Amino acid sequence: SDVYKRQGINAEYGDEFVAMVMFRAVLCLASLQMALGLWRDCGDTNATLHFQSVGSIPDPLHTGQNQTIFKHGWSDVDIPGDNLASTFSQYWCFTHCHNADGSIKWNTGLPWVRFLKIEVDVCKDHPDMCPVSAGKNFSTSAVHPKLNPLTPHGWYRSQQQYHDKRTGEYVGCADMIFQYISAAREEDAVFNPLN
């Protein structure tokens, strides 16, 4: 009870308070683990930008939900100012997206169909990532609006190949996959390519 008094916790509720805090911590860790989903640092051996976690909240994404994408990582080199850019590719897969052992197919050919490839000014879209400093961690997130209701369900993949705008030099790669599913039963979907 002296410990609780020193920390400003009513001794009568101290054990309940500690149990509640621990329970909430376990829930937070469990939800973070679920949100980490399918991702990889796809950087080549010469990469200087590294990712330690990439994810989607929620995962899976249901029709009608907003989505938050987050990335955490660090850099081996300085990329001053607003000189970080990426080639952003998005892919869709609706069937045969997994290997025989159940693992996801990470190749970029079929069954993955690329439907978007654009150049992104990372520092403009994610100012919290720039400037990139050697040995420093970065964290960034972006809230995406609801997808169009006619967007087909399936597996979606976002791959970003990062480079230094000043030199064009490749610096790293992040690759993530999330599932987009119906908020209703799949057999009620407007577009279900497997039915």
Distance CA 177, CA 59 (A): 10
Looking at residue 189, what is its pLDDT? Answer: 53
What mean pLDDT, rounded, does the chain reach?
83
Looking at residue 29, what is its pLDDT? Answer: 38
Cis-peptide into 127, omega within 30 deg:
no
The mean per-residue pLDDT over the stretch 16-20 comes to 52
Looking at residue 185, what is its pLDDT? Answer: 60
C-alpha radius of gyration, the chain, whole number? 21
Task: Record the tokens describing residue 85, joined without a space.
Answer: 């850019």
pLDDT tens profile 124-171: 999 999 999 999 999 999 999 999 988 999 999 999 999 999 999 999
Contact present, 58 and 70 (Cβ < 8 Å):
no
pLDDT tens profile 96-127: 999 999 999 998 889 999 999 999 999 999 99
What pTM does this model have?
A: 0.74
